[in-house]
Structure 1
Amino acid sequence: MTAMISVLVIDDHNMLRGALCEILDRESDLTVVGQAADGRSGIEQAQRLHPNVVILDVEIPGEDVMTTLLRLREVSPDTRVLIVSVHQDMGLIRELVECGIAGYLHKSARRETLLSAIRTADSDGEVIVYVSWQEDRRSAEGNTSPDQALTARELEVVERVASAMSNRQIANALGITEGTVKRHLRNIFQKLGAVSRLDMVNRATAAKLIVPYPPD
């Protein structure tokens, strides 16, 4: 029997929060144990309920999201936090990843992407980052299958390719093998629809996934 994944939803938009809870409760392996409209209430519930996963919006009444993340970690250390927001500032996303979030999804993400991210978060899998350009690209291509998101590690690889690092240099910088770098590149090429390293960097820059490096 599959273990149930308990979820706490923190979002100040009542209608969206309610709709999200309904979607989650339809899944046989997910159960919504609580919901809150502000950070303070959410932290109190997390301390009492110790959910497997917290879904948190970036902009909620009360303390800023970084403070809320730190408080959630204090009161429920084993809880994984998944950010779901309309913002896609990659600088903010990287700060949140560094604070230990399990993933970041734009609110344009499809139901299947959200459910997959929750299950990945609970399994302590690789951090998932999903921004709205991926949804736009899938619609333009007429692709109805769930799209995969770039992971935090893949974003690191893209950044280093943009700075003209070789596969060996990237491997040394990230502490991984060259074979792993090549695997990441294949995945990134497929996800971005890129045909070369330069094309990959251009597409990532246009999508605001990375900030272009200034010329020397």
Structure 2
Amino acid sequence: MTPSPAPAASTRILLVDDHALFRHGLRELLSMEPDLSVIGEASNGAEAVAFVTAHRPDIMLLDVGIPGDHAATTITRTLTAAPATRIIILSMFDEPAVVKELLGAGARAYLLKSVTRDDLVAALRSVRTDPDRIMLSISRESFEQVSDSTAKVLSDREVEIVGLVAQAYSNSQIARRLDITESTVKRHLRNVFTKLGAVSRIDAVNKAIAMNLVSPEKPSAPRLRA
């Protein structure tokens, strides 16, 4: 499949859905945004992976129910072929287990097909400019279940570091306290941000508190030995 031409500065998007009418409508909708360009379409996972391998789109909009491989397999194959391609799931299924599985496979957003145009466009722009952010547009019930299960995927070290951040420790102070390098602290925090869908240290702490990972007690000033 030859990709459609796109302006140099635009976000290049691949649409993956087995319903041609839905793809056409989505292409028309996104064509109204000057910074978004649909460069290709696919109707199944194999076509999607082949297109991504050849043309490396910035974003792939992937329907959960496409024929062929399971969506998680398509995500894994896509990211193996093109690690920089961001994957956004569009789905009719508001199922916490599905959401968790596909986010765990590497999707950067999970949106129900009932999502508004503005929210879809915002998600496309967000995952392109902030690759560590996870976008969700699901029911509150599903979100709470996904959040509860997400808490379990943080490692003990990540929980420890978030706890120290909650106590107002800086990266260098955390590194000294745990006897690790500052770059290791930063790597752990990037993982925490990704897993919790956090956009800042404060956001990560707030979400960790909400998940009962760290204490909501007022933090005290860190005391470290020289």
Pick from 159, 165, 173: which aligns with 2:159? 173
Residue 147 of structure 2 corresponds to 155
Residue 29 of structure 1 corresponds to 35
Pick from 101, 107, 110: which aligns with 1:104? 110
For 1:157 and 1:185, the matched residues in 2 are separated by 12
Q: In 2 relative to 1, CA 44–157 (structure 1 residues): closer, same or farther, beyond 3 Å?
A: closer
Pick from 79, 88, 96: which aligns with 1:82? 88
For 1:121 and 1:91, the matched residues in 2 are separated by 22
For 1:95 and 1:12, the matched residues in 2 are separated by 21
For 2:43 and 2:140, the matched residues in 1 are separated by 28
Q: How does 1:1-216 map to 2 (within 5 A)?
A: 3-123=9-129, 124-132=131-139, 155-156=147-148, 173=159, 175-176=161-162, 177-178=165-166, 180=203, 183-184=206-207
Q: Which moved more, 1:125-134 or 1:39-48?
A: 125-134
SS in 2 for 1:105: strand
Shift of 1:16: 1.1
TM-score, reference length from structure 2: 0.62
Q: In 2 relative to 1, CA 58–185 (structure 1 residues): closer, same or farther, beyond 3 Å?
A: same
TM-score, reference length from structure 1: 0.65
Conserved? CA contact 1:12–1:60, under 8 Å:
yes
Q: In 2 relative to 1, CA 157–173 (structure 1 residues): closer, same or farther, beyond 3 Å?
A: farther
Q: Extract structure 1 runs of 4+ deviating beyond 2 A.
A: 154-160, 172-186
Shift of 1:185: 8.6
Unaligned runs of 5+ in 1: 135-149, 161-171, 189-216
For 2:149 and 2:203, the matched residues in 1 are separated by 10
For 1:100 and 1:74, the matched residues in 2 are separated by 11
Shift of 1:71: 1.1
Rg larger in structure: 2
For 2:79 and 2:208, the matched residues in 1 are separated by 33
The number of residue pairs the alignment matches comes to 163
Query: Quick one: percent identity of the two aligned structures?
Result: 27
For 1:121 and 1:174, the matched residues in 2 are separated by 28
Which amino acid in structure 2 is aligned with residue 105 of structure 1?
Answer: L
Unaligned runs of 5+ in 2: 1-6, 153-157, 167-201, 211-226
Shift of 1:95: 1.2
Q: In 2 relative to 1, CA 11–151 (structure 1 residues): closer, same or farther, beyond 3 Å?
A: farther
Which amino acid in structure 1 is aligned with residue 75 of structure 2?
Answer: L
For 1:107 and 1:60, the matched residues in 2 are separated by 14
Conserved? CA contact 1:127–1:151, under 8 Å:
no
